[in-house]
Amino acid sequence: MPKSFRILVPFAWLLVILLSPQPVLAQEGTLRKIQESGAITLGHRESSLPFSYYGDNQQVIGYSHTLMLRVAGAIKAHLAMPDLQVKLMPVNSSNRITLVQNGTVDLECGSTTNNAERRKQVAFSNTIFIVGTRLLTHVSSGVRDFADLAGKTVVTTAGTTSERLLRRMNDEQRMAMNLISAKDHGESFMILTTGRAVAFMMDDALLFGERAKAKNPRDWIVTGTPLSQEAYGCMMRKDDLRFRALVNDTLARIMTSGEAERIYAQWFTSPIPPKGLNLHFPISDAMKKLFLEPNDLSFDQDEPRQTGAPTPLRATGYHWDWDILFSPTPGGGTYLHWLTTGLFWTVLLSVSAWLLALLLGIPLGIARASTRWPALRNTAMAYVELFRDIPLLVQLFLWYFVLPELLPGPWGEAVKGWRPEVQQFLAAWLCLATFTAARVAEQVRAALQAIPRGQKEAALALGLTSAQAYRWVLLPVAMRITLPPMTSEFLNVFKNSSVATTIGLLELSRQAQQLVDYTAQPYEAFIAVTLLYLLINLTVLFGMRRLEQGMRVPGLAQGGRE
């Protein structure tokens, strides 16, 4: 019991952190920070074509990126620091707001929609682009507008406004769509092109960009009446009027001087890297108007827009808000409900993967320790090495992305036709189970080899068959030896299940990131999820200790040794 207590202590530790006076994020002003550190960090996207993405040789390029570099140039001039270092930092939809908030990134120009929720956490510059949210689909899919999506699988990128719109539409209009939230636009597009979704909903300009990446762009069309209009802005920290004014002035100058239109033409109506394709996305009236009269109008009506009237500059700290867990999500229910859903998936995935891992791993371990069948032993060894020496993450991607492509045509199609949660769950389940089986096999082998040879000989000498010797003597002993290492393997399964976050399964750590996207309250989300993992850990440890006590043999020390 004292050991269990010891593990409880992290809770106390975390409480101390939570209750101690929080360090106030010194809002010394971005310009001063830049001046003092001699560097500015710009946040860019990795696959938001053509706004901000990697061209050839991993160079960041794009429409928004060009604008951002202009702004950085203006800052250089303003501060009279020709040697100012410009650092680039890739961000994604799920971490961009946090990174701006926590001071890692000073300015982010990519494809971030200016909306009310985000304005609570960060400030937006003048609008740099106006898009409509539409659909990308195969020409032959039959999907022409949002109404056609009922009952179909639709992909969108996690943490975007499209994701929220799509969820809300699905709930309100009972369209019975299956929604996949991919990690970034590139992944969303891959899910579309590999046939796992019929349509990809996103900002139209991005859809044109993804279409340009396709092997045959003419197979894909952007369609549907825009569900919403979105205004992209650059993000920076809140309440830093000096910095924001400098950014806005620079952007306005670029727009009114006609330079912005040239930059537009460069990225939207001319060939662009990496494949030299032309997006053919002519400038819209809304954009023309924006360039004439730069502004920071956003298109969500529920919040009075920022007028630019100076708000008093004040030191802002982090606003703790544990109530956020009990407040309603866009799709109904509370955020706490998201966490319990995450907990459910984590437990379901881990426990089922563990059972399969035992089922596979124990025979493999026996085969691995076999002295009589070299072929069997070598096969088991090949299995163990194969699954042990490839990172779990790579294995997961192979199961999820590559395997369906390698299956014979109709099979692959059938797999991709399943509900997305089913696909994600199956991939994660098989991946975790086969991976863990290799580890279980090693533990079983080690235990069997640790049993003195005489035990098997004694069993055989009594006339038991080899199988009976395993069943009644060797395995029961091995089981006791392996119990402690198996406990930690079992705990590893829970921890490893968090890797499933990368293919979009809504398990616990994915929920943490999604909670951050939606609420922009990273501390609460991460602390809550960490506590849940600790809770799982304690429960398993407690259960396994009970089991160990139940199996203890009088006169023997733990682990079955004399």
Partner 1 sequence: MSGLDFSSAFFAWPLLLEGAIVTAGITLTAMLAGLVWGTALAVARLSPVQPLAWLAALYVNLFRSVPLVMVILWFFLIVPEVLHGLFGRAVGDIRLASAMVAFALFEAAYYAEILRAGILSVPRGQMEAGLALGLTRGATMRGIILPQAFRNMLPLLLTQAVILFQDTSLVYVIGLADFFGMSYKIGDRDGTLPEMLILAGAVYFCIGLLISRLAARLQKRVSR
Partner 2 sequence: MISIRNVSKRFGAFQVLDGCSAEIKRGEVVVVCGPSGSGKSTLIRCVNALEPIQAGEIVVDGVSLTDSATDLTRLRARVGMVFQHFELFGHMTIMDNLCLAQVKVHKRDRAEAEAKGMRLLERVGLADQATKYPAQLSGGQQQRVAIARALCMDPVCMLFDEPTSSLDPEMVGEVLEVMVELAREGMTMMVVTHEMGFARKVANRVIFMDQGAILEDAPSRTFFDRPGTERAARFLSRLLDH
Using CB under 8 A, list all residues that contact partner 2: 452, 454-455, 457-465, 468, 472-473, 476-477, 480, 553-556, 560, 562
Q: By CB under 8 A, is residue 90 in contact with partner 1?
A: yes
Least CB distance to partner 2 at residue 486 (A): 16
Q: Which of 65, 196, 211, 213 binds partner 1 (CB under 8 A)?
A: 213
Q: Which of 68, 512, 515, 520 binds partner 1 (CB under 8 A)?
A: 512
Q: By CB under 8 A, is residue 59 in contact with partner 1?
A: no
Q: For 136-175, give the secondary structure using H, E and C.
A: EEECCCCCCCHHHHCCCEEEEECCCHHHHHHHHHHHHCCC
Residue 554: how many other CB atoms lie within 10 Å: 4
**Partner that binds at residue 477, options partner 1, partner 2, none, CB closer than 5 to 8 Å by kind:** partner 2
Site string for partner 1, 186-205 (x = CB under 8 A): xx--x---------------
Nearer to partner 1, 9 or 467 (CB): 9
Q: Which of residues 256-275 bind partner 1 (CB under 8 A)?
A: 274
Strand partners, 297: none
**Partner that binds at residue 65, options partner 2, partner 1, none, CB closer than 5 to 8 Å by kind:** none
Nearer to partner 2, 263 or 446 (CB): 446
Least CB distance to partner 1 at residue 541 (A): 8
Phi and psi angles of residue 61, each rounded to the nearest 5 degrees, phi first: -140, 175
Map residue 540 onto helix, strand or coil: helix
Q: By CB under 8 A, is residue 145 in contact with partner 1?
A: no
Q: How big, in percent rounded to 5, are the helix, strand and coil portions of the chain?
A: 60, 15, 30
Nearer to partner 2, 406 or 461 (CB): 461
Q: By CB under 8 A, is residue 16 in contact with partner 1?
A: no
| Count, residues near partner 1 per rule CB under 8 A | 82
Residue 210 · residue 274 · CB < 8 Å: no
Classify residue 80 as left (phi > 0), alpha (psi -120 to 50) or beta.
left
The C-alpha atoms of residue 68 and residue 57 are separated, in whole angstroms, by 20
Least CB distance to partner 2 at residue 461 (A): 4
Q: The tokens 């006169």 sit on which residue? A: 555
- Among the residue ranges 38-46, 260-268, 467-475, 547-555, the one whose residues contact partner 1 (CB under 8 A): 38-46
Least CB distance to partner 2 at residue 473 (A): 5
Nearer to partner 2, 33 or 456 (CB): 456
The C-alpha atoms of residue 47 and residue 65 are separated, in whole angstroms, by 12
**Which of 136, 138, 126 is CA-nearest to residue 162?**
136
Residue 399: how many other CB atoms lie within 10 Å: 21
The C-alpha atoms of residue 268 and residue 211 are separated, in whole angstroms, by 13
Site string for partner 1, 361-390 (x = CB under 8 A): ------------------------xx-xxx
**Partner that binds at residue 440, options partner 2, partner 1, none, CB closer than 5 to 8 Å by kind:** none
Q: Which long-range contacts (CB under 8 A, 24 or more apart) does 159-164 make?
A: 159/92, 159/93, 159/94, 159/514, 159/517, 160/93, 160/113, 160/202, 160/203, 161/113, 161/115, 161/133, 161/228, 161/230, 162/133, 162/201, 162/202, 162/203, 162/227, 164/330, 164/518
Residue 152 · residue 173 · CB < 8 Å: no
Q: Which of 74, 398, 464, 544 binds partner 1 (CB under 8 A)?
A: 398
**Partner that binds at residue 285, options partner 2, partner 1, none, CB closer than 5 to 8 Å by kind:** none
**Which of 327, 398, 53 is CA-nearest to residue 206?**
53
Least CB distance to partner 1 at residue 438 (A): 11
The C-alpha atoms of residue 479 and residue 83 are separated, in whole angstroms, by 66
Q: By CB under 8 A, is residue 288 in contact with partner 1?
A: no
Q: Which of 31, 39, 241, 348 binds partner 1 (CB under 8 A)?
A: 39
Least CB distance to partner 2 at residue 552 (A): 10
Least CB distance to partner 1 at residue 557 (A): 13
Least CB distance to partner 2 at residue 370 (A): 16
Strand partners, 87: 41
Nearer to partner 2, 290 or 459 (CB): 459
Q: By CB under 8 A, is residue 31 in contact with partner 1?
A: no
Question: What does each C-alpha distance from 6 to 1, 2, 13, 470, 537 come to in angstroms?
Answer: 9, 6, 11, 38, 13
